[in-house]
């Protein structure tokens, strides 16, 4: 239960083509993350799977059944929305029970499932409260509770953590990952945050302008990005790109080096530059460096790296950690 | 109001308005109360004397009194039912994106701009009239004998006219409420397997509860005092069958020139309005929290 296949799914709003045609295979039990900059069509793609938008052409197959024109409720999917979309006049318990009530499940069974879900999500003490009386994280959990009681074929998450503060986001990230391990149900998760994508996903789908740029496990994307966009999008801080003579030395139009893959020296190296701002995070130091050819570089140094504003520095990319790209931005392998 | 100083300043500055409002309310109410205890008839103003509770007893024992109270309540409840249910229906219809939406909305709301006597006259002479009216034409087209609305169904006719006037108000308030319904909640309900009817019952109606309360409370205030529509159409008749409390008071004051009796009726109307208000706040007021 829970495999989703997209075949040449295309979506246009009037004349504007948002998704030109996506083929995608989501296996049973997988945690798939759609990631991309805002406006890349990742939410639209999720809504197409959910059935909240009609596809312009193509096929959506869930568990071997063609659901392209089926109503959202008939697809056996559950969705967690960015705004949580809780029903404000119903108590937490009634919110969670709502899908079961709609499925005409008997009261007793309903109560059992709600209590079970509330137990998993630490909501047992809050079942009688209204959503308005809960904190952001609790509301998030209620939304998840409403999704899990139905025992759906797959969960769809639409940027569920973007309304939470940074600390809570890290917590919920772990909780959702734990939940996935516990339930072993397919999850499709949309985010613009590549950290969420890297930490949670079994498989990441990188989207840009409605096109799939690359599909792969987090480390595949990190180690062998298919093109310059994926290289720049995955990893934090972003990959540095060098063009001109520095790139030609590697036989490429442009080369990409991640901040963590520079060797630094105060005396010698391939790329001379001047240190600008140094951001000390304790564990790491991020150096903003202006190379002599004008390129701006961010490099990661050890936490205690002794350097100050205006110092000269020489950078050398680590052996085998240089990504080469041709004129079109595709990776050269 | 952060400090004590700004607080007392604010109190000082809003005092004139409050005092003015208070005078505006207290003086007429006090005078009405005073007149209601007088034998005061405009045909014989020289014979004014203290009456005690006579005016109240007289007004209460008037056979038209109970009927007028009943008519008042039927009128208020009837119009409320029609406007709230009809308002929800129309609001949901014009909330849908359609061609010419702007014009349709303006047309829907326009009856509210027509003043009550004019609206009543239009209904009386152009729509419900047994020989020239649109309804009569329709009836003749169908081969039925036309209904003489104001003779056969006087109170219902008044209810229809007043509903027509207040439907736009209800529609407007309920439409804005409908538009503030969160789209993601509707989609969530859709994913949860709620059909159109379930979505309406469990999502749309509770969301509109507050707007419905506002509509009911505001309309009740105005509907208790409906008068012009009755004056230009049925004159309260036939008999007393379309006389409400307001109209009964008008009759006492302006047809019988009995100021004392009318004042007593006015005080009774105030008490009735308060009963209705308490009942309404108990019934629907919790939606306003």
Mean pLDDT by 10 residues, chain A (333 residues): 86 88 89 89 89 89 88 87 89 90 88 89 88 87 89 89 85 88 90 89 90 91 90 87 83 88 86 88 89 88 82 87 87 81
Query: How high is the pLDDT of residue A1?
Result: 67
Name which of B193, B197, B205, B288 to mutate to probe chain A: the one with the most chain A Cβ atoms within 10 A of its Cβ: B193
Would you say the C-alpha torsion B272, B273, B274, B275 has a positive or negative sign? positive
Residue B80 lies in a domain: yes
B203 contacts A87? CB cut-off 8 A:
yes
Q: Can you read off the two tokens belonging to residue B168?
A: 């736009």
Q: Would you put residue B223 in left (φ > 0), alpha (ψ -120 to 50) or beta?
A: alpha
Handedness of CA A225, A231, A233, A235 (dihedral sign): positive
Encode A42-95 in three state secondary structure. HHHHHHHHHCCCCCCEEEEEECCEECCCCCHHHHCEEEECCCCCCCCCCCHHHH
Whether ipTM > 0.90 holds is no
Q: Quick count: other Cβ atoms within 10 Å of Cβ B38?
A: 18
CATH topology classification for A238-332 = OB fold (Dihydrolipoamide Acetyltransferase, E2P) (2.40.50)
B:206-245 residues touching chain A, CB 8 A cutoff: 206-207, 209
CB contact under 8 A, A81 and B207: no
CB contact under 8 A, A98 and B185: no
CB < 8 Å to B193, chain A: 73, 99, 102-103
**CATH number for the domain harbouring residue B66:** 1.10.3720.10
Which pLDDT tens digits describe chain B residue by residue (289 residues)? Answer: 567 888 888 889 999 999 999 999 999 999 989 888 888 887 877 877 787 888 888 888 888 888 888 999 999 999 999 999 999 999 998 888 888 888 888 888 888 888 889 999 999 888 888 888 888 889 889 988 888 888 888 899 999 999 999 999 999 999 999 998 888 888 888 888 888 888 899 989 988 988 998 899 889 889 988 888 888 888 877 888 888 888 888 888 787 788 888 888 889 888 888 888 888 888 877 777 6
CB-based contact A87 B185, cutoff 8 Å: yes
Name every residue in A having a CB less than 8 A away from some CB of B: 50-52, 71-73, 77-79, 81-83, 85-90, 98-99, 102-103, 146, 150
- Residue B191 is nearest to which of A77, A88, A89, comparing CB atoms? A77
pLDDT at B2: 66
Residue B136 counted as domain residue:
no
pLDDT value at residue B289 = 67
Query: What is the assigned CATH class of domain A4-231?
Result: alpha beta
Which one of A50, A70, A73, A153 makes the best mutation probe of the B interface by having the most chain B beta carbons within 10 Å?
A73
Tell whether B57 is covered by a domain.
yes
Q: What is the pLDDT of residues B61-96, one digit of tens each?
A: 888 888 888 999 999 999 999 999 999 999 998 888
Torsion of CA A225, A227, A228, A231, to 10 degrees: -10
CB-based contact B191:A73 (threshold 8 Å): yes
Is there a contact between B267 and B257 (Cβ–Cβ < 8 Å)? no
Q: Is residue B184 situated within a structural domain?
A: yes
On the question of a common fold for A4-231 and A238-332, the answer reads no
Show Cβ contacts of residue A172 under 8 Å, excluding neighbours closer than 6 positions: A137, A140, A160, A161, A164
Which of B185, B193, B203 faces A73 most closely, judged by CB atoms?
A: B193
B192 interface with A at CB cutoff 8 Å: yes
Residue B14 lies in a domain: no
Nearest CA in chain B to A150: B192
- Report yes or no on B10 lying in a domain: no
> Which of B191, B206, B210 has the highest number of chain A CBs within 10 A, making it the mutation to test binding with A?
B191
Q: How many domains does chain B have?
A: 1
| Chain B residues touching residue A79 (CB < 8 angstroms) | 187-188, 191
Other CB atoms within a 10 A radius of the CB of residue B160 amount to: 17
Q: How far apart are CA B283 and CA B289, in angstroms?
A: 13
CB contact under 8 A, B193 and A99: yes
The minimum CA-CA distance between A7 and chain B, rounded to whole Å, is 22
The structural domains of chain A, with segments of one domain joined by +, span: 4-231, 238-332
Q: What residues make up the domain containing B51?
A: 23-124+154-288
């Amino acid at each position: 239960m829970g495999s989703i296949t997209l075949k040449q799914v295309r979506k246009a709003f009037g004349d504007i083509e948002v998704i030109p045609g996506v083929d995608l295979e989501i296996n049973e039990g997988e945690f798939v993350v759609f990631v991309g900059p805002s406006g890349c069509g990742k939410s639209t793609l999720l809504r197409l799977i959910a059935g909240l938008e009609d596809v312009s052409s193509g096929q959506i197959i869930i568990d071997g059944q063609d659901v392209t024109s089926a109503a959202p409720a008939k697809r056996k999917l559950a969705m967690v929305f960015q705004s949580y979309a809780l029903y404000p006049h119903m108590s937490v318990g009634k919110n969670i029970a709502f899908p079961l009530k709609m499925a005409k499940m008997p009261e007793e069974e309903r109560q059992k499932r709600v209590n079970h879900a509330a137990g998993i999500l630490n909501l047992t003490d809050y079942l009688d409260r209204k959503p308005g009386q809960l904190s952001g994280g609790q509301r998030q959990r209620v939304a998840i509770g409403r999704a899990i009681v139905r025992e759906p074929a797959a969960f769809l998450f639409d940027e569920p953590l973007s309304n939470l503060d940074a600390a809570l986001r890290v917590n919920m990230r772990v909780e959702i990952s734990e939940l996935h391990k516990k339930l072993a149900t397919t999850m499709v998760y949309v985010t613009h945050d590549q950290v969420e994508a890297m930490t949670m996903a079994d498989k990441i789908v990188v989207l840009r302008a409605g096109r799939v740029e690359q599909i792969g496990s987090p480390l595949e994307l990190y180690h062998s990005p298919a093109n310059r966009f994926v290289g720049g999008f995955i990893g934090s801080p972003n990959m540095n790109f060098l063009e001109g003579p520095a790139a030609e030395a590697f036989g490429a139009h442009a080369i990409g080096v991640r901040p963590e893959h520079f060797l630094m020296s105060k005396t010698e190296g391939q790329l001379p530059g001047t240190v600008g701002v140094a951001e000390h995070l304790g564990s790491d130091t991020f150096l903003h460096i202006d190379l002599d050819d004008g390129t701006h570089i961010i490099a990661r140094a050890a936490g205690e790296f002794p350097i100050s504003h205006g110092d000269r520095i020489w950078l050398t990319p680590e052996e085998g950690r240089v990504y080469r790209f041709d004129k079109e931005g595709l990776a050269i392998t | 109001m952060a400090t004590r100083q700004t607080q007392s300043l604010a109190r000082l500055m809003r005092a004139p308005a409050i005092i003015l409002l208070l005078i505006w309310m207290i003086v007429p109410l006090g005078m009405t109360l005073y007149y209601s205890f007088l034998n005061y008839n405009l045909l014989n103003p020289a014979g004014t004397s203290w009456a005690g509770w006579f005016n109240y007893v007289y007004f209460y024992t008037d056979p038209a009194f109970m009927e007028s109270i009943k008519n008042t309540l039927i009128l208020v409840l009837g119009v409320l039912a029609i406007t709230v249910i009809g308002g929800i229906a129309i609001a949901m219809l014009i909330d849908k994106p359609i061609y010419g939406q702007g014009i349709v909305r303006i047309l829907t709301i326009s009856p509210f701009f027509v003043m009550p006597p004019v609206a009543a006259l239009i209904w009386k002479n152009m729509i419900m009239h047994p020989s020239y009216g649109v309804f009569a034409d329709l009836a003749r087209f169908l081969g039925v004998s036309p209904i003489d609305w104001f003779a056969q169904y006087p109170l219902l006719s008044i209810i229809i006219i007043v509903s027509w006037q207040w439907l736009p108000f209800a529609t407007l308030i309920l439409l804005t409420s409908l538009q503030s319904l969160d789209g993601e909640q509707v989609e969530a309900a859709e994913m949860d397997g709620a059909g159109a009817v379930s979505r309406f019952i469990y999502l749309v109606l509770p969301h509109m509860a507050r707007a419905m309360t506002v509509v009911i409370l505001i309309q009740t205030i105005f509907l208790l005092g409906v008068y012009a529509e009755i004056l230009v159409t049925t004159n309260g008749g036939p008999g007393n069958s379309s006389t409400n409390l307001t109209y009964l008071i008008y009759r006492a004051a302006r047809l019988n020139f009995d100021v004392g009796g009318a004042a007593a009726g006015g005080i009774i109307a105030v008490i009735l309005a308060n009963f209705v208000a308490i009942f309404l706040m108990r019934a629907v007021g919790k939606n306003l929290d």
